[in-house]
Each structure stands twice: as C-alpha cells, then as structure tokens.
Structure 1
Amino acid sequence: MTTILVTGGTGTLGRPVCDRLRADGHEVRVLSRHSPPYAVDLRRGGPLLDRAVDGVDAVVHCTNIRRGDKDAARTLIEAARRAGVPHLLYISIIGVDRVPLGYFRTKYAVERMIRESGIEWTLLRTAHFHDLVLQLLQGLAKPPVMLLPKDVRDQPLEVTEAAARLAQLALGPPAGRVGDMGGPEIRTFAELARSYLRASGRNRRLVEVPLPGRVYRGLRRGGHLAPDRAVGRVTFEEFLAERFSPHGA
C-alpha cells in the first residue's frame, strides 16, 4: 500500500484527490490548517509537518494560499528534503509563464522552487476549474448588469478530472512536467455567463467591457488556454446542470 500526503486535502481539489486515492486502497494523510492529526499552517511548519511527511511515498501539493504560496512551498520543500521524500507533485495553472497576472507569477515562482528543490518532481498545469468560473460569475451577477471582459475566453475543467489525473501521477514515478489539462471547450465569458444565468434562473443584462493593461492583453491573446490539450470531458453546461439540480444544490 502506498502512503500519500495531500496538502490542502480538504479543499476543492484536495478533497477529490484524497477520495480517489482512498478508493484505490491507498493510505492518505490529509494536511490542512484545521484537519487533525496533521493540522498544519504550511507558512509556519513545525513538528506536525515533519510527522506528516515522514515515510510517505509522495506529496501532492494542492494547498492554495493567495498570500503565502511561496512561503508555504518553501516550508514544505524543506520538510520534504529532511524526510527524504522521493516524489513531490505540484498543480499549477496553464499560462503562468505567459499572462503577467500577479497570482500567476506566484504560481510560476513556486514551480521554479520545486524544479530547483533537489527532490524528484512532477508538475501538472490545468485550466481554471468550473467551480472558480462559477464563483466569478456569481460575483459579477450581483449587480443588475453583468460587466464582462470583452474578447476574453476560458477553457474550464471539471475538478474531479484533474483530481483523477493527480492521483494517477502520485502513484507513478516522478515525471517532470506532464501534458497540460484543458477543459473540453473554449468559450467566451459572455457565453459562460449566459449558460450560468439560464442554469440559475437569473436575469441580468450583459455588457462586455474592454480593459486596459498587460494582463488583459495576455488573457485576450489566450495565454491561459490550451486548445491542443482539450482533454477534459465535462462541459460547463453539464457542470451547471449538476450543480443547480435539486439534489446538487
């Protein structure tokens, strides 16, 4: 039986990764700030982190700390080195090296830290998950008019598909950077918004707005898309149908 540590194991991605590994009969250690026995804040580390990484076959790093990602990665890498962890997996985002968004730059910096850590590693970049796109659209729909970035597209991916791929990679040897995972369709934000409004039964006027700056230009050019890696199967409409169904709500 393989023992895998999943950081951020109670989150949107970490939870289905853990579920998949357990379903396949593997021992899973869940590391999260509020989840004993490994309730650890990765920005600080400590003895519990050393216990969590001790003797594991792989670490899947799913923790996502908006302010503190690099500190968390540094702490985890140091603990993994001390424990002699043989395999460190990291999930990143398509386009972190092409779109000059601050959050993307942080993810790219963590990628470099892992590549230079001295630990054998695997890196998977994915498109944005359906859940994140839904959260963004829900926020934009609060006013009576939805303001959307003009000419910006996205390629949302079902999180459980990414989780299944991560679990598969965790059970194999370190593979370096593997093929990106994009969702099955590239859609404009206006199209995604219309699908959300239909599924949720809401009525909003849509207005597409051009935005200034390098980030917007990078997104408009599609730096965060992977049309040649449209490997996901679940469409955004299928995700919405499940989420807004009576049993999924």
Structure 2
Amino acid sequence: MQNIDWETIYSVVLYVVKHYPLTIILYVLLCFVIGIAVSIILTLAFRKYKVTSREHKYYNWIVKLYFPTLFVINIIFSLKIGLFWGVYEALKKESHNISSQVYHAGSSYIFKDEQSKKEFIGDLRTIVTGLSQNNQDLKVQVKDIVKAYDIKNKVIDQPKNWIASLFAEKYIDRIHTIVLYGMMSAVPHVSISESLSYKEFDKLADKLVMLDSKNIEESLIEKIQNLFLMVLKSQFKPIIKGVLLIWGLLMLIPWIELVIYRFIMKRKQSNTIKI
C-alpha cells in the first residue's frame, strides 16, 4: 500500500464533486441517513444504560450534552464518509473510460497501422541489443527496456479527462510496462518473466509483428484499469478506515467517562461505609 497523497486527493475530490454531483449527492444522503439512524440507536443505548445519568445536578446537566454532540459528530463524519465513498464509486465506475483514454493517449500509436507496429518492435530490438551488450544470452530486465524506450516522448495526445491525465502523468512508466508485458503475453504459447535475453526477445519479436491489434488492445486497457483500481483503492481505503477509527474512538468517550465515574462513585461509597 502506498502513502496517501493528500494534495492529489483533495484535487481529485473537487474535480469529481464538480463533474459527478449526482453520484456524490446520492452517497452523501445515504451516509447522512445512516448517521442519523446510528445516532438514534446510540441515544437509546445511552438511555438504557444510563450513560447520561449522574447524581450531581450540574454534572447531570453537562453530560446531557452528549445527546446533541452525538448527532453533530455523526452527521459530520457521515457526510465526510459519504463524500469520499461517492468519489471512490464515481471513479470506479469511470475507471474503464479513464483507462481507455490513458491507453489511447500514450500507447495506441503502436497499433495505429502495421508500419507503426513494426517501427515500435524495431526500436525495442535496438534497445534490447544495447542492454544485452551484444551478448545474446545475457538477460535484461523488461522494466529496463521500458525505461530505455523514451515512452514519454511517444505520447501523442493528453487525455481530455483531467483524472486520466493525472493518472497517466504519475504512473507513465508502470502503465507502459503493463502495455509491454501485455503485448508479449498476448503471444500464444509464450511464458514471459521479468527478464529475457536478446535471443528470446528476437524470437518473440517475430511473433509480435503478427499480432492482431484488435484482439489485444482491450486486454491492455483492462490491465491499465486494474492498475487504476489498485491505486484508487490504496488511496481511499485507508482514508475511510481512518475516519471510521476516529469516529469509533469519539463514540467510546461517553462510555469510558461513565466507567470512570461509576468507579469513583463506588470508591466513595466504600470509603463512606468504612467510616
């Protein structure tokens, strides 16, 4: 799991709220209703277990503030959870479209026509030759092939969707590693590892030229989509967990305070009986 990029998260949230308002409203309302329901349930529990009952008059008044505070906290946290949940679901729903834009902006030139495909594979042959230092049996890393091939200069257009553009910019190397792996894996009866020799790549390249682009482009988009969903989950899941953890700790305060109060009162009663 990667660290949460809060600056990017806030930018993404603002973008999604602006472009997918109905989805955000739906999840915010859903969580608001859940928050109210949880508040009512906890209020009944407080009454049942006398969480807000104290012997001292003014102390008893003060603890009654638990009721409005309970509703305020639950509403605030439910709205926050609804916002992040709505953003997550909106992006999840649009993940295929976003991934398709990323692919077509940065990799579709490979399959634009037969000449483009041959040029791309020819460039890869040259790179593998250089990395293997003319030793046909020397293994080279696929990720090094991607780095050596200046993918960023091959982007033919920026995605129109801001999220797609941001995703492509931040994960360009991983995206094109996925594309390269996906292309090679599309060759029938070939097992692709993280490294291969020039001799192995040379045989593979002959088969890559014969690939039908229509049969593998959707597969590549799906692989990019899987990366997008993984990144999305790694960013939003910890946020939701963190919000729920803080909410849970706040909900424990009245119960902890009640236990401490009853313990002190019990000690006082015991001391009174002894005297």
TM-score where L is the length of structure 2: 0.17
Q: If each structure's strand is expressed as a fraction of its own residues, which one has the higher value?
A: 1
More RCO (CA 8 Å, sep 6+): 2
Q: Which has the larger radius of gyration?
A: 2
- More helix by percentage: 2
Query: TM-score under structure 1 normalisation?
Result: 0.18
